[in-house]
Structure 1
């Protein structure tokens, strides 16, 4: 099984201060673990293009795109919220991250890869159509999913989000859209304090308490995600792959380990193989303990590539 791996050095240039957990070292930790695990040679590397405004505007408002472009500083930092800021390289990194998700979607639909993983930053799933927040500027996975629907003409896509934080931006983009089924679990109550109430019919949100273990998560996926996914029969699956629900990650309080990410990815692949010709595009969201992040991404990639 051919798995594409999309990344770019531009994504290393975005940083929000030495104190910030969403840092360039995250991508470097993934690269280190790819080498240590000896799977680097078994994936196909791709250098993604910058996203065009046309792709961004399928999810975001023109005012939002203009705001992000206008905020980009020539030096220093420009604050979006207390946790999110831009440096002179952030805009380029954000366009590269969204461009990776779109390019991976094209490659998988065209049959160049069975599936793909985008090792990019900044992340995206908190970015709403008209607001950047939570380390996120543009919603990479939503942009890719909308690209599959509106450019490639797919009828049904599923979005899987297993970050420790609810993907409020992705839900805001697709709530009520019958072409999209979004399945997520997340720690609750926890930032951004959304997702547990007033769910649209196409949202399968599973709030989980702090210290939830892999066994509890797997039962929830079995009982709540998988029946809906089988009934929906998606033509392609997109993954917001956040690894901050790992028990070693201090930004969350859940108890998952690498074996849980392997199991989750295998369930996603089973659905994709049955209904979607195996088509999956996964893009990095959270994961802030560097060692746990690298190991978890390797587990995810091994399951995607079936190695």
Structure 2
């Protein structure tokens, strides 16, 4: 039986003046990947910690919905939809060396995509100021034709496409601070001038994409900002990247909605990367994005869970994200890395010059 957590809105004296929503559904735990790094214990750890630190009761529950074929087809080829369904219906299997499917994975992926759309709808319809979709399987590596990198359908891209098609938003910024480049999201909006995609990622690292020279193509040229960071980048480097590149780029684009692909696998304790970010470092990033959303688009911010494979770092990273959205403090109980950061001043200056960011 899947664990259950409270789903009612907290209305007591501790309720925050800021309304923040979250999406969760037990079916996300039924995407059974065995001992794969991306497994159900990730969401269990997040939800347990939110309850333990008293944040969960301060949030507004948003019901996860099941995405339709039409929702998925905004980004993905029909053949991918049918392939994932077929593999799940026959009991599961491996889509590639990294990506595992079980009998329930197709349904879980549809609810992950639909749940992210539901979170976006709630924000754009002013039911909440901001929201966090706690979904799995993750999505930002999934391309039009391929499930890859633990991802089946691209949740954040599908949400952006829905918002554009519904007319609720005309310009969207997607900020991706997962340690891996979101190749699927970058591909989806490569030529779309309505979407700014910004990625901060370790480079080189899977999937090997995301060079700083990539700017988008055609009508979308200038709407892709890759910030490939060397192994050993930590809080100082990410703070510099936000101040020097992310914040001015988002202000220049002036979106009506900010979406965030939130991966906590750049934490110094994560086993799948070589970065030195702390929980406090993630807090700074989310504080910056909350401020940008309030400055530019009436606070409209939707965070979508991507990676993060050290359970304590993942659960506290997600909690500090909610705390930032609620304007509340959160302690970094894991502390800072003892590693030596790599200087990135010259890299940031080069990227700023390439993209005309002063």
Report if aligned partners of 1:72, 1:88 keep a CA contact under 8 Å in 2.
Answer: yes
> What value does the CA root-mean-square deviation take over the aligned residues?
1.0
Task: Indicate which of 212, 233, 240 corresponds to 1:212.
Answer: 233
Compute the displacement of 1:153 (Å): 4.1
Compute the displacement of 1:199 (Å): 3.1
How far apart, CA to CA, are the structure 2 residues paired with 1:94 and 1:159? 20
The normalised TM-score by structure 1 is 0.97
Task: Indicate which of 9, 34, 42 corresponds to 1:26.
Answer: 42
> What residue in structure 2 maps to residue 93 of structure 1?
108
Pairing 1:45–2:61 present: yes
> What residue in structure 2 maps to residue 15 of structure 1?
32
Pairing 1:237–2:258 present: yes
Compute the displacement of 1:175 (Å): 0.8
> What residue in structure 2 maps to residue 60 of structure 1?
76
Task: Indicate which of 47, 65, 70 corresponds to 2:86.
Answer: 70
Pairing 1:251–2:272 present: yes
Runs of 4+ in 1 over 3 A off after TM superposition: none
Compute the displacement of 1:198 (Å): 3.2
Compute the displacement of 1:46 (Å): 2.5
Pairing 1:270–2:291 present: yes
Structure 2 spans left out of the alignment, 5+ residues: 1-17, 217-221, 329-358
How far apart, CA to CA, are the structure 1 residues paired with 2:125 and 2:325? 18
How far apart, CA to CA, are the structure 2 residues paired with 1:153 and 1:262? 28
> What residue in structure 2 maps to residue 171 of structure 1?
186
Report if aligned partners of 2:124, 2:300 keep a CA contact under 8 Å in 1.
Answer: yes
> What residue in structure 1 maps to residue 327 of structure 2?
306
Report if aligned partners of 2:24, 2:64 keep a CA contact under 8 Å in 1.
Answer: yes
Structure 1 spans left out of the alignment, 5+ residues: none
How far apart, CA to CA, are the structure 1 residues paired with 2:258 and 2:41? 28
How far apart, CA to CA, are the structure 2 residues paired with 1:47 and 1:156? 25
- 1:60 is paired with a residue of what secondary structure? coil
How far apart, CA to CA, are the structure 2 residues paired with 1:158 and 1:79? 33
Pairing 1:193–2:193 present: no
Report if aligned partners of 1:73, 1:86 keep a CA contact under 8 Å in 2.
Answer: no
Q: State which structure, 1 or 2, has the greater radius of gyration over its C-alpha atoms.
A: 2
Structure with the bigger RCO (C-alpha within 8 Å, sep 6+) is 1
Report if aligned partners of 1:162, 1:241 keep a CA contact under 8 Å in 2.
Answer: yes
How far apart, CA to CA, are the structure 1 residues paired with 2:311 and 2:46? 8
Structure 2 counterparts to residues 76-155 of structure 1, below 5 A: 77-155=92-170
Report if aligned partners of 1:7, 1:48 keep a CA contact under 8 Å in 2.
Answer: yes
